[in-house]
Structure 1
């Protein structure tokens, strides 16, 4: 009897923690667009958070951040509920004004400026894949994302292997969602790239990492949310 009560209490506590996390989290859960600014080292990140209330339909809140590569700072623009986002929308225009005031400079996005890395390819692999499939060969410059294992709740551990000129230079392992899109973007520095990816467990979110291509080190790695000193 005592065992049943203990187990029941544990399940209840876990359930309450889970509901608290789902309701309180404000991380971005999906990326809609990443656009460079005409100001060097500034990047606009548009994404949305997903909410699942108990007593009403789920909804999405769209968020706009600017990332400054010079000092690794995120600054939050506006956020608003919606069912999609257009970069020419009044919301984006309004958010640009908010950010320009916050940063003390006029921001001007350059949506036609290509920033996705032209050489590095992202390859997804699953250790449980059947041999009915042919594994994609690793090109000279690649980020190989492998889902290592998954528990009953669908949470997985991810391995990231970084290849440069046909040589594996670094390997990282972390909690995350291998199925989510890993995006690699160029920076003004030839030996650095931005990687946007999904990490964490139940309270997962989209993170941005600055990676040194000479050794594969993470120079910066943080969930996309406003840097504390800017709040």
Structure 2
């Protein structure tokens, strides 16, 4: 039963075609034409959001890395679009799959590690032993910090995909039980589904923000 339930998130089961991954680019197509009119309300709102993110990322990265914030703002926008697209019916949710999330997290983490160990080797070694650690515990802290550093791309990818698939799975479970309910229970179910949809909208924003902020923090540690 669980295999059939999770199979609804399998790319091969939706429309029985390999075109599902094109949903990653649908976000560009559904942007209303009024967004490109300057100044439109959508444009002003989105620019304010990006400016707020730029200022927040700049405090983490430092004033010397002003252009580096564009990478994380673009990352936030990409994940946010795909998270919201997954809430629409019959649209493939790419961010609920490890193929997508790990493809975003692993190259970023690998780039940070290569840059840090090549250019700031002493700084990277210092990160392995937190300040104030007793000499007896230093070997253990090096092992713990190394393991926690190595699992960072996995935790980034799993956090995003697990949060996206959990809400979709709950909505799918509740939706499948609607055919066996009475008309009164169906009305209650619709209200619950609307509340879940609102919650999933908040999760879509929060998870894209968390992914971008954690990537920014990992980047700031290698400078």
Normalising TM by the smaller chain, what interval? under 0.3
Higher strand fraction (1 or 2): 1
TM-score by length of 1: 0.25
Compare CA radii of gyration and give the structure with the larger one.
Answer: 2
Of structures 1 and 2, the one scoring higher in RCO (CA 8 A, sep 6+) is 2
More helix by share: 2
- Return the TM-score normalized by structure 2: 0.25
